[in-house]
Amino acid sequence: MAIFKGAGVAIVTPFHADGSVNYDKLDELITYHCDNGTDSIVICGTTGESATLTEQEHMDCIKFAIDRAKNRNPVIAGTGSNCTRTAIELSKEAAEAGADGLLLVTPYYNKSTQAGLIAHYKAVAAEVKTPIILYSVASRTGINIDPATVATLVKDVDNIVAVKEASGNISQVAKIMNLTDGKVDLYSGNDDQIVPLMSLGGIGVISVLSNIAPQQTHDICAKFFDGDIAGSRDMQLAALPLIDQLFCEVNPVPVKKAMNLLGMEVGPLRMPLIEMSEEHAKNLAKAMQAYGLKLA
């Protein structure tokens, strides 16, 4: 059984003005998503600025999300690292805390071989029973998970069950589904490709857009699953101008700005990320209004 089907939010980590984690606001956001169509909470991923969280903050956020979302939404914990030992420890702790799934990005900077990726993922998977989602995002990490590598891991390891595909390469996605005989849960890692990936057998998206449009992102998936392909496609296309603005600067800079423009008060970014340019902020606000979102 899939960890979730539909739209999972790659949730931001809200901060106070002094840069500390704002757990009261995180509680509000989790409730907001549980009440507004989001199908899963994905905590401490790229959008959650996991790279600048301490290991203690990282685990505290994961445990907090699991506690607050209990019996409402499944929680997927980002526990990847470029250090296999660290990924194992984070994954074990998240599994013990009750995470419904683990999201494991490829080891960044090290630039392992494909054989090294297989060894890395097998080493982590051997230490937990929790379902694992492979996360392929070469634009961030400098290394792609080749389709043959995905197929090997899915076939050899029982608890490696899914892939978040953010390569942007539809041909690669098709090859993954071919080599796995479709026996992998495929999630889009790009909000502008939700429908294309579902047409190849995908079961949803791990979404940045969901932070500000949870019901709409859910509905793109739900309409597709209900057989309303045209309706799903039209919603996907209508969201493209806003999605473009959400990625006009590196994620999560624009989405945090968008949330603050909506009055959600998620606070600042952690350096080295800084506030987006004034010109980009104006374009983002216009796209949000054109999409029907009401600014504060």
Domain 6-228+266-272 superfamily per CATH: Aldolase class I (3.20.20.70)
Which one of the listed residues 25, 63, 121, 135 is annotated catalytic?
Answer: 135
* Average predicted confidence (pLDDT) for the chain: 97
Confidence (pLDDT) at 156 = 97
Residue whose tokens read 């996991």: 50
- 176-234: pLDDT as tens digits: 999 999 999 999 999 999 999 999 999 999 999 999 999 999 999 999 999 999 999 99
User: What is the pTM (predicted TM-score) of this model?
Assistant: 0.96
175 is catalytic: no
Confidence (pLDDT) at 71 = 87
Could you give the CA distance from residue 30 to residue 69 in angstroms, rounded to a whole number? 7
- 96-136: pLDDT as tens digits: 999 999 999 999 999 999 999 999 999 999 999 999 999 99
Which one of the listed residues 25, 63, 164, 256 is annotated catalytic?
Answer: 164
187 is catalytic: no
Determine the straight-line distance between the first and last CA of the chain, rounded to whole angstroms: 40
For the cut 90, the answer to whether the pLDDT of residue 1 exceeds it is: no
Domain segments of the chain: what residues?
A: 6-228+266-272
